[in-house]
Structure 1
Amino acid sequence: MDFFGTILWPIKWVIEAILVGFHWALTQLGMDGDGGLTWVLSIVGLVLIVRAALIPIFVRQIKSQRKMLEVAPELKKIQDKYRGKKDQFSREAMQRETMALYQKAGTNPLSSCLPLLIQMPIFFSLFSVLNEARYDRAGVGLLTQELADSFGGANLFGVAPLKYSLVDAFNFGEVWVIIIAIAMILIMTASQFYTQLQIMSKNQTPEMKNSPMYRQQKILLYILPFVFLISGLAFPIGVMFYWLTSNIWTMVQQWLVIRNMPTPGSEAALAREARLAKKNRGRIADDAQALAESIEEKPETPVRTQRQQPVGKNRAKKQGGPKK
């Protein structure tokens, strides 16, 4: 086992345990253990568990990226201030001001990259487990040779082998694999494009849109979908189900974050404030209506008057009656 494989070994063991656990649970529910649908649902369950565990890292990454975008205009001012100055004093002054800006904002360039570096070994392990299983190779843990053979020979709906890629499908004439693979690649590409578009169109302030970082994101908006489009040609459809499920999770997760935790001053933040204001107005109107209805329905309280007591003749004379 090489150095890279040694590092990934414990992660792959956990991933195999989750995958095999889902496969066992589905077979206990009566599904075919060698069926393609059983393995696809096991892959989907695996992705959901892994992505749910990564939610805290994702939130931290979003906050770090947001802070970096917020300081981008100020960072550009510092860079413009020392542009063309190559002496040692200017370089040190620029570095001090840059670090002071990062310290004031509570972030740094590495903080936004660290969560991604943590996720990379997990994603490599996921891909490795599924890719080795399609070649009928046993895993490092609970994915035995028997289960690897089962995955390698599984067919989705009995017509599309999970181990075939789009290139393999063209070579072997697998029409259903071609149809399923093309549909999945298009959905993967569209979901990736929409996810990035959400960030750029709704979760950026006007200042952020004038920063160099925004221009870099705009380039990635059109480059990343092509990466999925090209890499999808070589991915077997069993592995593509992992990527598709992960992309859909990311798209929904990003939508929820932008809706509930938007960048201050962005279009999404203004939309959230408008929703909250409308909700508060509706709540106040409902309370006022309920109060009015309760007042109308409340019965009037009768006015109690004091009963006039009869007065005798002698008592009336004492109280100032007519004298005879």
Structure 2
Amino acid sequence: MRLKKRILLLIGLVSLILLLTGCSEIKQPITPESKGLWNEYIVYPLSWLITEVAHLLGGLYGLSIIVVTILIRLVILPLMIKQTRNSKAMQSLQPEMAKLKEKYSSKDQKTQQKLQQETMALFQKHGVNPLAGCFPLVIQMPILIGFYHAISRTRAISEQNFLWFDLGSPDPYYILPLIAGATTFIQQKMMMAGTENQNPQMAMMLWMMPIMIIIFAVKFPAALSLYWVVGNLFMIVQTYFIKGPDLKKIPAAGKAGGAKK
């Protein structure tokens, strides 16, 4: 129950951030003179960086967004590696967690409180943080919203096109939203490999996040979908190199389990 409350709290926090940053200044152009912490430290630096990289690339703003996305991913790479390792540690603890659930199978309140205490003690013993997977989301949300503002409030970006779409308008063929949703699913599937069947909440998020990404990407500027797609591809490659051996073991383990049955 506590984990559910924390997930709801996180969703509420993200929604509040979206409300506070998305409704106030979205129609005002971003310039060096724009005031406020949000404009000075998030939106304008992103706008400036995209614009400067585009100038280096011959005015190709779509290519600039790809390069800037990769740069941002490289900056937060240590945090993402920590998240991936935490996910692996959580997976290795699943047998012990299953034993605890079997030991405290009674549904009365005292037994469930004891189960939560024992579970948290297990996490602390092995240095695992069950909410570590939420931290990258909290950090990426300001960047994501900042990208949306930088694209919408910088005329040079919003008026450019790239491949088949305009950066400042939704993808007319819905190709990018579908790719963004598919890559989100693949990336999360790799991160949760071996644990989603044992944790219904994680299995629910595995489907919820891609659907939410597609819904948002259909309405948001295509440049934001491009950011999602590039970021997801980066994460897929990163996860493969970190969890590659474990990803190969999971299907083999499943076949072995079926053979024993």
SS in structure 2 of the partner of residue 164 of structure 1: coil
Q: Say which of 243, 247, 250 aligns to 1:267.
A: 250
Q: Say which of 106, 124, 136 aligns to 1:103.
A: 124
Q: How far apart are residue 199 of structure 1 and its match?
A: 4.1
Q: How far apart are residue 237 of structure 1 and its match?
A: 1.7
The answer as to 2:161 corresponding to 1:155 is: yes
Identity of aligned residues (%): 25
Name the counterpart of 2:238. 253
Q: How far apart are residue 241 of structure 1 and its match?
A: 1.6
Name the counterpart of 2:103. 81
- Change in Cα spacing, 1:101 to 1:161, as seen in structure 2 (3 Å) is closer
- Change in Cα spacing, 1:97 to 1:226, as seen in structure 2 (3 Å) is closer
Root mean square deviation of aligned Cα:
3.2
- Change in Cα spacing, 1:97 to 1:7, as seen in structure 2 (3 Å) is farther
Name the counterpart of 2:46. 15
- Change in Cα spacing, 1:79 to 1:115, as seen in structure 2 (3 Å) is same
Q: Partners in 2 of 1:242 and 1:91 — Cα distance?
A: 42
Q: How far apart are residue 59 of structure 1 and its match?
A: 0.4
- Change in Cα spacing, 1:46 to 1:54, as seen in structure 2 (3 Å) is same
Q: Indicate if the aligned counterparts of 2:84 and 2:191 stay in contact, CA closer than 8 A.
A: no
Q: Indicate if the aligned counterparts of 2:89 and 2:128 stay in contact, CA closer than 8 A.
A: yes
Q: Indicate if the aligned counterparts of 1:67 and 1:107 stay in contact, CA closer than 8 A.
A: yes
SS in structure 2 of the partner of residue 109 of structure 1: coil
Taking structure 2 as the reference length, what is the TM-score of the superposition? 0.70
Is there any run of 5+ residues in structure 1 with no aligned partner, and where?
134-147, 167-177, 271-324
| Greater Cα radius of gyration, structure 1 or 2 | 1
SS in structure 2 of the partner of residue 47 of structure 1: helix
Q: Partners in 2 of 1:190 and 1:92 — Cα distance?
A: 38
SS in structure 2 of the partner of residue 84 of structure 1: coil
Give the counterpart letter for 1:85 in structure 2.
D
Is there any run of 5+ residues in structure 2 with no aligned partner, and where?
1-16, 22-35, 254-261
Q: Say which of 184, 192, 208 aligns to 2:184.
A: 192
Greater RCO structure (CA 8 Å; 6+ sep): 2
Taking structure 1 as the reference length, what is the TM-score of the superposition? 0.58
Name the counterpart of 2:215. 230
Name the counterpart of 1:54. 76
